[in-house]
Amino acid sequence: MTLSAVIPKHVEEALRTHRRGFLKSAGLLVVSFAVSAKNSAAAEPAGPYPDPDFRQLDSWIVIHENNTATFYVGKTDAGQGTGTGFRQLMSDELDIAFDKTTCVMGSTDITVDQGGSGGSTAMERDSWPMRRAAAEARRALLEMASGRLGAPVDQLAVSNALIQVKADPSKRVTYGELIAGKKFNVTLTGANVNAVTGAAKVKTVQELKYTGQSLERDDIPAKVDGSQKWVVGVKLPGMLHARNVKPPFAGAKLTGIDESSVRNLPGFIKVMSKGNYVAVVCEREEQAIGAARALKTTWEKPATAPFPASEDLFQHMRGAVPTSASDPIVMGDPDAAFSSAANVIEAEYEIPFQGHTSIAGAHAIADPSNGQMTVYSNDMKSYSMRTGVAAFLNMPRERVRVVYMQGPQCFGRSAAEDAACEAAWIAREIGRPVRMQWMRHEETAWDTKGPAFLVKTRGALDPAGRLVGYEYSARSCDYNHVGYNEHDTVLIAQLMGSRRAKPARGSSEVPSEVYAIPNRRMAGEVVSLPLIWETPLRTGNLRDPNGPQSTFAAESFIDELAAAAKTDPLEFRMNMLTASTADDAGFRRARSIAVLKAAAKAYGWDPRPSPKPLGKGNILIGRGIAYSFRGQTVVAQIAEVEVNRQTGHVWAKRLVCAHDCGLIVNPESLRRTVECATLHGLSRAIHEEVRFDTEKVTSVDWVSHPTLRHADVPERIDVVFVNGDPNPNRSDLRPFGAGEAALKPMLAAIANAIYDATGVRIRRVPFRDARVLAALKAANV
């Protein structure tokens, strides 16, 4: 049997020069990594794999003989353009032409650990050490040039990786001539990777040249011409294919495996099983798929139902004893405000479990060659995957590495992590490289879920229609929320019997506006389902983990209050943002006002209370607005919808998003990300729900688990970028996160538009045709 001793050539090439298509089009020679100052993985295939030292400048930047640079960053990019953005920022700080740079991301043995992706932190937090490292490299190069050219640094000019003596430009030296083939050997300081810095200062916003430009994303050409190398395409010598056999009932106990049902199938290698975990391994992919289907297994159902059916979920949540509760946030005297109110409004909102439901099943390839474990994965958190796989296999961390490659979108804690541990375990047991991939039904049923929410709200209006008292009280079904790459909570570990003494407590966040409401009380509780372990309803971070749920309730309710006050919903919000309070220094308030104004202007908002007078025709048209913060990024969404009175069908005809995330690194790349997050929010508003009976998840494919489609797409989407900073031209304008924020207010914006069109308030997500039609009929619309 041949074991792969090195990363296969095509993968190696993809990793080293994955921006190759771009470099070629820029007329550049392909950088030869074999002769670079940095040790390539190819030169050290067998491990161990020590962590690249984030305090060494050489870990971040390599400058080549041909005066090009490669940036090594500890982030992953599943197509939101962060890699191109990092190149823009680092090219600016280094003073090198953007098209002479490339960026390597996310593989644990060659890039420093910046945590991969998550929390929309790419630009907000993680671009800073990159910028400071690039600025430090520029400083070090100027110092070297000073010695070489015999002139003090302050008499040198630098541009496009060329350093010249100001007084005599014929005295010049390129970065490549100064450093290629050598190391910087510059030690950076900083307590951790986020704090890493050299002696050099970063540039002011006004000095940045590439930052702020809509440069084309460098990953796109390979994704459209078919040359992209994906995890799913990795082929290793001797590689086998594995498929899981999941329990047919949640919480079921495996009582028997009849291996004779598959033993004679072509290509059959082995049935792998431990505890309730079962997988089949075959020579070829289609053989593994067939064998997993054919394998006869017997299971014992749990004594009690693992969960209520999805139609009874909220009833269960109402009656459950909370597993945890946050301390309420109290301002003013809400009880007094309610007792003296002119009008008290109450409402309750329901948001079901929603899944990641990636376009492809989770997958990973694991190679156990040479006593190491190399995992090829698209997981956005490759670094913690390395730690998790090592702990799961009880291997020294140094013997494990994760090679990050492209794959289907993760949007948080997806099942990519489960697939990696499964592939690694089977590979080690069998002693050959193994490719694991989940099938569609597994992915849709067993991927981690965004928690269901039940939210009760209460509002006190004074005689003038002002909101003087507000209560928000949420329950999330989020107990035992799984974290990233935890060796004891990945699904295979749970199925093998691993039980953490204390499950993660989960979270139930409160809304994130800055309305001036003098008296308020906000609190969140977490509740559990009966089955805690080995459940397909395990929760995990999904793009803005609590935000769409809490904001659906909060911003729907603000609309209900505006309607009760017979006030235009935009004006009602504005009144609460322009009112003076002591709880905000002004930064968030100013930016909230700016995005709401910008959205209203772009849409052409016509001030009037909702709902509008009911139309006569079959199609009812209305508009709704919602706004929220995620971190320091503030978003206002306006939706114009058509509601079909006969069918209940909702079409968002027009969407306007006003978005302030501070410094914009690449406007067109950001625009795409915001458009897609907006449409992801639309999909979650009108389609997505995890359905289950009292034994199993029943939404298992694209028919039983609908998603947004081409026909749902608005006629027009306007994304308006806003800089509402009180000092907009500040030289230290910071970038804030943008991967998730636009999604957050979408569910409420759609619900508010449906109300405006029909006068019917839908308080249960998603707004599928049947639900909307039933609500219209109940209201005689």
Partner 1 sequence: MSNITIKVNGGTHTLNIDPATPLLYILRNDIGLEGPRFGCGLGQCGACTVIINGAAVRSCILPVSSVKGEITTLEGLSSNGKLHPLQQAWIDEQVPQCGFCQNGQIMTAKAMLDKVPHPSDAQIRESMNSTLCRCMTYYRIQAAIKRAAKAMA
Residues that bind partner 1 (CB under 8 A): 78-80, 216-217, 219-221, 223-230, 232-233, 235, 266, 284-286, 289, 357-361, 406-409, 437, 439-440, 668-669, 672-673, 675-680, 682-683, 701-703, 707-715, 717
Look at residues 202, 80, 62 and name the one whose alpha carbon lies nearest to residue 129.
202
For the bound state, the minimum distance from the C-beta of residue 79 to partner 1, rounded and expressed in Å, comes to 4
41, 12 contact by CB (below 8 A): yes
CA 42 to chain centre: 31
Give 724's contacts (C-beta < 8 A, 6+ positions apart): 590, 591, 592, 593, 594, 595, 634, 660
- Distance (Å, rounded) from C-alpha 647 to C-alpha 633? 37
Q: Please tell me the distance from the alpha carbon of residue 346 to that of residue 455, in angstroms, as a whole number.
A: 11
Minimum CB distance to partner 1 smaller for 117 or for 310:
117
Secondary structure (3-state) at 704: coil
Beta strands in 422-554 (DSSP E): 434-437, 449-450, 452-461, 467-477, 519-527
Judged by beta carbon, residue 221 or residue 518, the one nearer partner 1 is 221
Q: Which residues contact 88 (CB under 8 A, 6 or more apart)?
A: 98, 210, 211, 213, 215, 665, 666
Nearest distance in Å: CB 746, partner 1: 11
Q: Smaller CB distance to partner 1: residue 347 or 360?
A: 360
Minimum distance from CB of 266 to partner 1 (Å)? 7
Q: Would you say 466 or 659 has its CB closer to partner 1?
A: 659
Round to whole Å and give the CA distance between 150 and 330: 66
Tell me the C-alpha distance between 694 and 87, whole Å: 50
SS (H, E, C) 232-253: HHCCCCCCEEEEECCCCCCCCE
CB of 241 vs partner 1, minimal distance in Å: 9
Pick the closer one to partner 1 by CB: 76 or 457.
Answer: 76
Instruction: Please name the amino acid found at residue 201.
Output: K
Q: Which is nearer to partner 1, 13 or 701 (CB)?
A: 701
Spatial separation of the C-alpha atoms in residues 431 and 424, rounded to whole Å: 10
Query: To the nearest whole angstrom, how small is the minimum distance from the Cβ of residue 403 to partner 1?
Result: 16
Smallest gap from Cβ 206 to partner 1, in A, equals: 27
**Cβ 472 to partner 1 shortest distance, Å:** 29
| CB closer to partner 1 out of 504 and 619 | 619
Residue 441 or 730 with smaller CB distance to partner 1: 441
- CA dist 676 and 460 (Å) reads 37
Longest pairwise C-alpha distance within the chain: 87
Buried b (16+ CB within 10 A) or exposed e, 307-346: bbebeebbebbeebeebeebeeeebeebeebbeebeeebe
**Beta carbon of residue 702, minimum distance to partner 1 (angstroms, whole number):** 4
Shortest reach from residue 359's CB to partner 1, in Å: 4
Shortest approach of partner 1 to residue 704 CB, angstroms? 10
Smallest distance, partner 1 to C-beta of residue 230, A: 6
3-state secondary structure at position 296:
strand
Asked if 667 and 659 count as a contact pair (C-beta separation under 8 A), the reply is no
Name the minimum Å distance from CB 247 to partner 1.
20
Between CA 447 and CA 628 the distance in angstroms is 28
C-beta of residue 599 within 8 angstroms of C-beta of residue 636: yes
CB of 360 to partner 1, least distance (A): 5
Give the residue with the Cβ less far from partner 1, 190 or 221. Answer: 221
Decide whether 86 or 479 has the Cβ nearer to partner 1.
86
- Are the beta carbons of 409 and 707 closer than 8 angstroms? no
Of the pair 357, 473, the CB lying nearest partner 1 is at 357
* 348/642 with CB nearer partner 1: 642
Asked if 45 and 98 count as a contact pair (C-beta separation under 8 A), the reply is no
Report yes or no: 661 and 736 within 8 Å, Cβ to Cβ.
Answer: yes
H or E stretch covering 143: helix 127-149
Between 8 and 530, CB nearer to partner 1: 8
Nearest approach in angstroms of CB 401 to partner 1 is 23
Of 585 and 703, which CB lies nearer to partner 1 in the complex structure? 703
Which residues fall within 8 angstroms of residue 675, CB to CB, at 6 or more apart? Answer: 657, 717, 719
Question: Could you write out the DSSP letters of every residue in 631-646?
Answer: TTEEEEEEEEEEEETT
